[in-house]
Structure 1
Amino acid sequence: MRSNKPLKSRFHLGPSTLPQPAARPYNHCMGKSVLKAAVAALFLSAGPAHAEENEVIFNELPYPVEMRLPGSQKAGAVLFESRYSETAEADYDTVLLQGEMPDPAIRLDVVVRANFFFPADRRYKPERSRRFPGGRFWARYRLDALTRQPLKFSVVNLDLKEDSTLTIYETELLRSDSMSETEEVLPSTFTYVPDPALSLPENIPFRLVRRAGWSAAAPTGPFTPHQPFYFTLHHTQAHYPGTYDRALAEMQFIQDFHQNGRGWIDIGYHFLIDPFGNIFEGRPISVVGAHVKYHNTGNIGISIMGSFHPPVSNIFTPGAKGSFLAVGTYLKDTYTVNRSSFYAHRDLGPTACPGDGLYAVMGTLRGLIFDPQPVPVPPAPELQPNAAQSKSLRQLINFYK
């Protein structure tokens, strides 16, 4: 089982010619210990896929965290409890996480370790959460005060009848006073009026599932216009949809998580691509997104659905690759974008995104977008007449002699 911590030593810092930083996006009973030990033995692990600077790090417990939960326990029983995380590197009073919860008959709490000021561990239930029909969920927890204390997960049984699982893709520690996308306080009376001028025209050289096609919610505040001049590759570090309908549901989940979990005005990415090559319109291309801390103005965010960091190894399908190349080529041909204006998320900040799998093909993608090779035309083959054709040809020659 791998630790998240060594991952930080592998962070890649981008070249010295990075764009100048833009405005920051505001982007109970006897036997309980025996039960915990037994359930902990069922813990499944996978590798860290998105170790952001504010992500919760557990010793020997990488992401995505997958738990097996035993059914038929009495209501209120603790079905799983993790070890404590490492001490946070900065103050936080908000915990934000997202994952998959196939059965809603459980509750995921976070427990903050006791310290000098709080002599007992403090358990927090979700302040706000949402679970979608397919099982995708997010949850947000608000603490009583700022802290850097370690925390742990605790899964409580509500009415779980059968064995189930719970998967956590990412957990972040945040400050509630810096979660909004901008420092400006947006009026609650804001009414969104779609502006076609902000979106892509109809005659683009690729098929696009526009916002109406995936039933996007309206933004909660006004957009900030910008002129694109570079673009960034991401992975969603989450669900890898196996059908088009699941991809539509994932779009709706990501937007809801960004708007209501993170407090942003809209989905952070400009484009998302599913394994089948479907390209989904996120934020309008002509407005500032929320996908790279300090680097959003002028930056177009393109995210591939799934996780591409070991040990998770989703497939970057030919369809997804072709669609990414189509969008990248369009950006190159339409805006002032050159080969040095294409980044991976990890080039611009401390993260493993878009995962080692996608990062390994960055050079190939850059070459196919900015240095396309002409398709060679094979020489015409020499036609060798068959026996019948040879006889007819000799007869024709003899006729004219």
Structure 2
Amino acid sequence: MSRGFGPSPRRHTHAVRVGNVTLGGAAPVVVQSMTNTDTADIKATTQQVAELWRAGSELVRITVNTPAAAAAVPKIADRLAMIGASVPLIGDFHYNGHQLLAAEPACAEALAKYRINPGNVGFGKKRDSQFASIVELAARHGKAVRIGANWGSLDQELATRLMDENAALAEPWDAGRVLREALIRSALDSAERAVAIGLPANAIVLSAKVSGVQELIAVYRELATRSNFALHLGLTEAGMGSKGIVASSAALAVLLQEGIGDTIRISLTPEPGQSRCAEVIVAQELLQTLGLRAFTPLVTACPGCGRTTSEFFQQLAQRVQSHVRERMPEWKMRYPGAENLTLAVMGCVVNGPGESRHANIGISLPGTGEAPAAP
């Protein structure tokens, strides 16, 4: 028997409150992004966070790697509040998060969520105490935590132990499967440890990122089967341009269609000088294309062929798309539901009239040698 039309029902997860945003539970899939400024540069970071927020990012992660960066966080939060940018900030910590959060209580309070990497939160005998320090601070301040494992910084002690255990099996797994299991175990074991320390399950988000599409799908399917924690989806080091967009969309679309995932980030490497907002737009368009959320009217346009030798319809489609996205913040307030509209800009008589009939607003232009006619 074939499955019904549309995506699978969303997987049931704990609802996690991150500032004024809820992810998981029955909440819509949340779009998030990350800055690439030096967080100690308060002006530049505030500007980029605001830009990402205006583009539609509902959560923004910032690097917190030095005392200067930690000291800047509350000032950035204050400046964002002054301009009305009510976007929760996530602190991205590696290696020294326990020290920075303890030394800068205002930073710990200003952040809505902390990201911990179990592969580098500490090493050897220090690992457990440093992990516990961050978790205890999060619980004390009422903050959420993302436990984000990554195969580029995997816990080597865990990976080695699983490799040794696997080698002793009568039918050992291949190396790739062992590494996937190590990534999953790193996230799940850390989450269980956090709960034991005192962090509620509804304050924990998990991620386990890899850069391969099939590996990511396999890892998250397993995570979804083995826990009810909210899941952050993202393909790490996806790459630049069309490659990064295609790879991220291919992986995340499969998981989202299966009801897996509570928040997403498209990790695109921007061109030099390019805005970071591209990753926000791709994330929104992915969710809207799958029918999971609506952010802005969708513009349907034909690709062009020998019947459309003029570039006018291409220019018109581009202008319509840009105009819609620029005006959407205003329209969202004045015209509720505008984000659900469909617009069509078609270039000739073959599919133009029919496609225009399916749209709320349709423009069907005459192709080369065709007489203008209303659909």
After TM superposition, the score normalised by the length of structure 1 is: 0.29
Q: Hey, which of these two has a bigger chunk of helix by percent?
A: 2
Q: Hey, which of these two has a bigger chunk of strand by percent?
A: 1
Structure 1 or 2, whichever has the larger Rg, is 1
After TM superposition, the score normalised by the length of structure 2 is: 0.30
Higher RCO (Cα < 8 Å, 6 or more apart): 1
